[in-house]
Amino acid sequence: MASRKRSFMEAGLPPMMYGYGDVRVPDSRSVKLVESMVEEHLQDVLKSAVEKARWQGRSSVDDMHVLLTTKNDPKRFAKLDHLIKMNETIKDTKDAHKKVLEVKKAKPSRGGNGPKD
Protein backbone atom coordinates (compact mmCIF):
# COMPACT_ATOMS: atom_id res chain seq x y z
CA MET A 1 0.00 0.00 0.00
CA ALA A 2 1.51 3.33 -1.06
CA SER A 3 1.58 5.91 1.68
CA ARG A 4 0.19 9.30 0.82
CA LYS A 5 2.40 12.28 1.54
CA ARG A 6 0.79 14.43 4.21
CA SER A 7 0.45 18.15 3.65
CA PHE A 8 2.34 20.47 5.96
CA MET A 9 -0.92 21.49 7.63
CA GLU A 10 -2.45 18.07 8.22
CA ALA A 11 -0.53 17.40 11.43
CA GLY A 12 -1.10 20.87 12.87
CA LEU A 13 -4.76 21.37 12.05
CA PRO A 14 -6.40 18.76 14.33
CA PRO A 15 -4.85 20.20 17.54
CA MET A 16 -5.81 23.72 16.40
CA MET A 17 -9.34 22.59 15.63
CA TYR A 18 -9.54 20.95 19.05
CA GLY A 19 -8.30 24.16 20.64
CA TYR A 20 -11.15 26.03 18.96
CA GLY A 21 -13.79 23.61 20.22
CA ASP A 22 -13.78 20.61 17.90
CA VAL A 23 -13.41 17.03 19.15
CA ARG A 24 -9.93 15.79 20.06
CA VAL A 25 -9.65 13.70 16.89
CA PRO A 26 -11.69 15.47 14.20
CA ASP A 27 -13.08 13.66 11.19
CA SER A 28 -10.56 13.55 8.34
CA ARG A 29 -13.12 15.20 6.03
CA SER A 30 -13.38 18.13 8.45
CA VAL A 31 -9.59 18.48 8.51
CA LYS A 32 -9.47 18.42 4.71
CA LEU A 33 -12.23 21.04 4.52
CA VAL A 34 -10.48 23.37 6.97
CA GLU A 35 -7.19 22.77 5.16
CA SER A 36 -8.75 23.75 1.82
CA MET A 37 -10.25 26.87 3.41
CA VAL A 38 -6.88 27.86 4.89
CA GLU A 39 -5.13 27.23 1.57
CA GLU A 40 -7.71 29.35 -0.25
CA HIS A 41 -7.30 32.17 2.26
CA LEU A 42 -3.50 32.01 2.02
CA GLN A 43 -3.71 32.12 -1.77
CA ASP A 44 -5.92 35.22 -1.56
CA VAL A 45 -3.56 36.96 0.87
CA LEU A 46 -0.48 36.10 -1.16
CA LYS A 47 -2.16 37.13 -4.42
CA SER A 48 -2.96 40.49 -2.86
CA ALA A 49 0.61 40.79 -1.54
CA VAL A 50 2.00 40.07 -5.02
CA GLU A 51 -0.26 42.77 -6.48
CA LYS A 52 0.99 45.26 -3.86
CA ALA A 53 4.61 44.35 -4.61
CA ARG A 54 4.05 44.76 -8.36
CA TRP A 55 2.33 48.08 -7.79
CA GLN A 56 5.51 49.21 -6.03
CA GLY A 57 7.61 47.92 -8.93
CA ARG A 58 9.07 45.02 -6.97
CA SER A 59 9.60 41.55 -8.36
CA SER A 60 9.41 39.79 -4.99
CA VAL A 61 7.10 39.85 -2.00
CA ASP A 62 8.34 40.67 1.48
CA ASP A 63 6.73 40.74 4.93
CA MET A 64 5.52 44.32 4.48
CA HIS A 65 3.48 43.42 1.40
CA VAL A 66 1.77 40.61 3.30
CA LEU A 67 1.21 42.93 6.27
CA LEU A 68 -0.39 45.54 4.01
CA THR A 69 -3.05 43.05 2.95
CA THR A 70 -4.53 43.36 6.46
CA LYS A 71 -4.25 47.14 6.91
CA ASN A 72 -8.04 47.57 7.00
CA ASP A 73 -8.45 45.04 9.81
CA PRO A 74 -6.68 46.36 12.94
CA LYS A 75 -6.87 43.04 14.82
CA ARG A 76 -5.41 40.98 11.98
CA PHE A 77 -2.83 43.67 11.24
CA ALA A 78 -1.64 43.69 14.87
CA LYS A 79 -1.55 39.90 15.07
CA LEU A 80 0.31 39.51 11.78
CA ASP A 81 2.74 42.28 12.75
CA HIS A 82 3.39 40.47 16.04
CA LEU A 83 3.93 37.13 14.25
CA ILE A 84 6.37 38.70 11.78
CA LYS A 85 8.35 40.30 14.62
CA MET A 86 8.39 37.04 16.59
CA ASN A 87 9.63 35.18 13.51
CA GLU A 88 12.47 37.70 13.17
CA THR A 89 13.29 37.31 16.87
CA ILE A 90 13.42 33.53 16.49
CA LYS A 91 15.72 33.81 13.45
CA ASP A 92 18.00 36.27 15.26
CA THR A 93 18.15 34.03 18.33
CA LYS A 94 19.01 30.96 16.24
CA ASP A 95 21.73 32.91 14.42
CA ALA A 96 23.19 34.17 17.70
CA HIS A 97 23.13 30.65 19.15
CA LYS A 98 24.86 29.28 16.05
CA LYS A 99 27.59 31.95 16.37
CA VAL A 100 28.13 31.10 20.03
CA LEU A 101 28.54 27.43 19.14
CA GLU A 102 31.01 28.31 16.38
CA VAL A 103 33.06 30.42 18.81
CA LYS A 104 33.07 27.60 21.35
CA LYS A 105 34.29 25.17 18.68
CA ALA A 106 37.02 27.55 17.54
CA LYS A 107 38.36 28.19 21.06
CA PRO A 108 41.12 25.84 22.10
CA SER A 109 40.17 23.86 25.14
CA ARG A 110 42.12 24.76 28.24
CA GLY A 111 43.69 21.83 29.89
CA GLY A 112 44.96 22.02 33.46
CA ASN A 113 48.55 21.49 32.32
CA GLY A 114 49.24 25.00 31.00
CA PRO A 115 51.67 25.76 28.16
CA LYS A 116 54.36 23.22 27.38
CA ASP A 117 58.01 24.32 27.28
Tell me the pLDDT of the chain (117 aa) as tens digits. Answer: 445 666 778 889 999 999 999 999 999 999 999 999 999 999 999 999 999 999 999 999 998 899 989 989 999 999 999 999 999 999 999 999 999 888 888 876 665 555 554
User: pLDDT value at position 1?
Assistant: 47
User: pLDDT value at position 20?
Assistant: 92
User: pLDDT value at position 104?
Assistant: 84
This prediction's pTM: 0.64
Integer Cα distance of 109 and 113 in angstroms: 11
User: pLDDT value at position 4?
Assistant: 60
Q: Is 31 exposed, middle or buried (0-12, 13-18, 19+ CB in 10 A)?
A: buried
Task: Give Cβ neighbours of residue 35 (< 8 Å, ≥ 6 apart).
Answer: 7, 9, 10, 13
User: pLDDT value at position 112?
Assistant: 53
